Amino acid sequence: MPGITREEVAHLARLARLELKPEELEHFAGQLDDIIGAVARVSEVADQDVPPTSHPLPLTNVMRADEVRPSLTPEQALSGAPAQEQQRFKVPQILGED
């Protein structure tokens, strides 16, 4: 079963906005291939009667009442922001749209 190709890793890196050098691409492609191979072995064991699982707990319908809880103050919310202006998070120019 094919794992992950170098091109696919490059594509993912681009989507994740990660700048990877050619040798890094090579390196991660190898590692990710191993990981995917390991995970693929699970599907060999899981037969049709085992439903796909996205959560380890056998729970459904965990909900909360629609009641307001205290929020952070704007100061707290912004305390970790690298830059701020007008009580807002300041981010670099957004490219690629409009």
Partner 1 sequence: MTTTTDLVSYEDALASYDPVMGLEVHVELGTKTKMFCGCSTELGAEPNSQTCPTCLGMPGALPVVNAIGIESAIKIGLALNCEIAEWCRFARKNYFYPDMPKNFQTSQYDEPIAFDGYLDVQLEDGETFRVQIERAHMEEDTGKSLHVGGATGRIHGASHSLLDYNRAGIPLIEIVTKPIEGAGARAPEVARAYVRELRELIKALGVSEARMEQGQMRCDVNLSLRPHGREKFGTRSETKNVNSLRSVERAARFEIQRHAAVLNGGGTIIQETRHFHEDTGSTTSGRVKEEAEDYRYFPEPDLVPIAPSRAWVEEIRSGLPELPLARRNRLLAEWGISAADMQSILNAGALDLILASIDAGADAASARKWWMGELARSANESGVPLDGLAITPEQVARVTELVSKGDLNDKLARQVIEGVLAGEGTPDEVVEKRGLKVVSDEGALTTAVEEAIAGNPGIADKIRGGKVAAAGALVGAVMKATRGQADAARVKELILEKLGVSEG
Q: What are the backbone dihedrals phi and psi of residue 82, each rounded to the nearest 5 degrees, phi first? A: -60, -30
The amino acid sitting at 77 is A
Binding track, positions 18-57, relative to partner 1; x by CB under 8 A: ------------------------------------xx-x
Tell me: does residue 77 bind partner 1 (CB under 8 A).
yes
Q: Do the Cβ atoms of 3 and 33 come closer than 8 Å?
A: yes
Cα–Cα distance measured from residue 67 to residue 88, given in angstroms and rounded to the nearest whole number: 26
Tell me: does residue 87 bind partner 1 (CB under 8 A).
yes
Measure CA of the first residue to CA of the last residue in the chain; give whole Å.
Answer: 42
Tell me: does residue 90 bind partner 1 (CB under 8 A).
yes
Q: What does the binding site for partner 1 look like in residue numbers (CB under 8 A)?
A: 12, 15-17, 54-55, 57, 59-74, 77-78, 85-94, 96-98
